[in-house]
Structure 1
Amino acid sequence: MTDLISAKQFRDAPGVEDWRTIFGGGWACAYFRTGSFAAGVELVRAIGEVAAAANHHPDVDLRPEGVSVKLYTADFGGLSDQDVAVAQQISAAAAALGAPADPSAVQHVQVAIDALVSAEVQPFWVAVLGYGSFGETDVLDPLRRGPTFWFQQMDAPRPQRNRFHIDVYLPHDQIEARLAAALAAGGRIVSDAHAPGWWTLADAEGNEVDLAVWE
């Protein structure tokens, strides 16, 4: 059985400066700017060779501008030493191909739904999204493409407040810049009681979003 490591243990390892732990430390993600689709294909080929040799397979998203890579040992909430080793080798391959990492492009988006009785609400979202349940509070895309859905327990109805909000999970060194950008774009801070773990912001009409690190 593979032993899991914490987000901090991953970050403290040498050779993973390109990578950011995200969503509670469950994933290690990197985005490499390749500048062309052809260069991206070369990087994906190199990643494939690393993954095959290690028998440890990341999620890889190839776009004309770059390549996103997500490493994990458990589908939801787990990193291991194996992720560290594969991350080191992928970074070396990207450097050899002249594809720099851009940590500002790493994030994860989650939709949070307030529910009085989650068991009555969650099955609808599993069905309508084609997702799968993970535990009692989370609904996940089995292909890890779309946002996750989280059902937040309510004790009483909130008729004057939105029942949905968005969680944006960011790397620890990117959240301050995003917070500043959101405020400059007309947002306001609703609560910073849990900072630096997360800030609750709202747009001009009161629609809420949490900017979160959760590490």
Structure 2
Amino acid sequence: MRLTADADPQLWIPVTDSLGWKGRRHRKAAIRMLLGQVNAAVGATERPGSKFGAWAMSQAAPMLMKRADGRVLVWTWKAEPELVVAMATAQVLTPDVRIARASMPMDYDDTESFPTRLGVGEKLLVPMPPAPASPPFATYTWDTGTHLVTLTAVCSDKERFGTLIGALDDLARSLRIADDLTGGESPDVLRLDPA
């Protein structure tokens, strides 16, 4: 299963297909922000060489995402790449994945219904995580029967997290499953649901 999305190019920079110089600054900023959040969560300070580590990871990230073959899509906020990183994934729903999902803490049970083209999913907003060092995040989840599609966005600024919800909702609504075309179909054909 491959994912596709129509992210607003005025708001989001795709990191997934940014090979080489294209998107390099945004890739590096996103990785630096995520590494900083991890360091803050475990109480560590920035170490010497961490900028080199972010650079090295930013060089390897496009190749790893290319190997994921559409199962992982990543975007950063265009105006400020270190503000928010959003990642969409498609994961096969194995019994282990179902058990892990059912075993999530009660803190994450406060979801609301979120209908899109993928079906009726769940939206979870955590603007103030229980641990003070944890960043605010939003998670959108859809169970397609065979796969679990998830969009997770992590923000570096608790005060501005609420201003991003509308853009995150729009990004989540644009997620789709990219079906392989069968004989006689064309990529120019728009498929409409029977309903």
State the TM-score, normalizing by the size of structure 1: 0.27
* RCO comparison, higher one (Cα < 8 Å, 6+): 2
State the TM-score, normalizing by the size of structure 2: 0.29
Q: Which has the larger radius of gyration?
A: 1
